[in-house]
Amino acid sequence: MQILLAACDATHLNPVSAALHERNALAALWTSTKNEAGLPASKYRRAWVFHLAIKPFYHLSPRFPERIFHGLLPLWTNWVKRQKPPAFEAVQALMGYGAEVFDHAERIGALKVIDASNSHPTSYYGFWQRECDLWNPGTRPGVPRKIFARGNRDLERADLISCPSVFVRDSMIYNGIPEEKCVLNPYGVNTRTFIPRDRLPEKPRFICVGLIGLRKGQQYLFRAFQRVRERLPEAELICAGGYHADFSRERPRWEGTFTHYPHLPHRELAALLRSCTAFVLPTNEEGFARAIIEAMASGLPVITTYQSGATTLVRDGVEGRVINGRNVPELAAAMIQVAEDRALNERMGQAAHARGAGDNSWGDYADRLLEIYARARHRALRSGAAADRSLKAAGAN
């Protein structure tokens, strides 16, 4: 089977495309970002018109507002419309980027798949707006409503929805998507870069990886860490990621209370993870934070929420702690527990590595993907054959 991958910002499709190419299953990757997967020219197409338009904003700030990125979306959509696709049997597009590439798929009867990197648009928007209303009144989610609307339409047109987590799948079903359209396939991890730590640090050292913003829940993390420091004065909190604009009211209060790395290459991040006690991310909405799986592969217990997608791989009390979202006392208690009970920390870290990295490389993800698509194509062919038989029987009568 040949799969066409498409998204304006490739994100996790880079390692997916590399794994599919190794299996001779990649038709092409269409994106506006650079060829990080090292694909041959025949397998990679870049929307240069979009890249050149967005480039000045990258030079001004690597964390420019998402609204600028999404405001240039017509450049991407028009580029996709003009492309002549290679031969393919399935297309996988990120949610919000499916419409134009689905048009290509429908002309040849290819399988249409949405890669749901977030929860259903209704949940995605609602959870984020709630946090804006509570912590920065008057602000709105950084993603424009038109992108959520595109996502809704993509989900309706799709033959399959690839859900990276139980939370995403549940949100789809809750919002009226047929359960049979939703397939579960958690993201993989680079098991060569993210390897387990060799020892537990003497002083408690917590790490959170991801954009610092209201949707990610750092407003609860920083308040919880205040409580942790009352019990464990030597504890350190590390945050790796830039600030989101919606955190503008919270930022002045917390700057200087944690160690901050705005930007880290993957190898440096991997080394930093191995030096920590536990990974913590009290996010309010997520598809499945890749940083969680990277932390698990690094042998760290994970403290997070159901809304992070982590319950797909993390069991409360086994690979870490799954806490209720927006609950500062519970979050602080979980952080203190995994820091004070070193034997528990070691057991959780080993279990996290076994479940996060074992049979869960990007190659494993690609193998699961190909199996899912093969079954879907087989069902479609059987359904088509049954329909043909029904038509012939009706004609004979």
What digits encode the pLDDT tens for the residues 164-196? Answer: 999 999 999 999 999 999 999 999 999 999 999
Q: Is 217 left (phi over 0), alpha (psi -120 to 50) or beta?
A: left
> Can you tell me the distance from the alpha carbon of 337 to that of 343, in angstroms, rounded to the nearest whole number?
11
For 326, which DSSP code?
Answer: T
For 15, which DSSP code?
Answer: H
Confidence of residue 386 (pLDDT cuts 50, 70, 90): very low
Give the neighbor-by-neighbor strand order of the sheet with 320-323: 259-261, 236-240, 205-209, 278-281, 302-305, 320-323
Q: pLDDT by residue (tens digit) across 124-178? A: 999 999 999 999 999 999 999 999 999 999 999 999 999 999 999 999 999 999 9
Confidence of residue 63 (pLDDT cuts 50, 70, 90): low
What is the predicted pLDDT for the residue at 394? 53
Among 365, 364, 363, 373, which residue's Cα sits nearest to residue 1? 373
- Tokens 């899912």 correspond to 372
Amino acid letter, 363? G
Please list the alpha-helical segments (H only) found in the chain: 13-22, 48-60, 66-71, 73-82, 99-108, 121-135, 145-157, 166-174, 218-231, 251-254, 266-273, 290-297, 328-340, 342-357, 362-396
Confidence of residue 397 (pLDDT cuts 50, 70, 90): low
> Can you tell me the distance from the alpha carbon of 128 to that of 45, in angstroms, rounded to the nearest whole number?
33
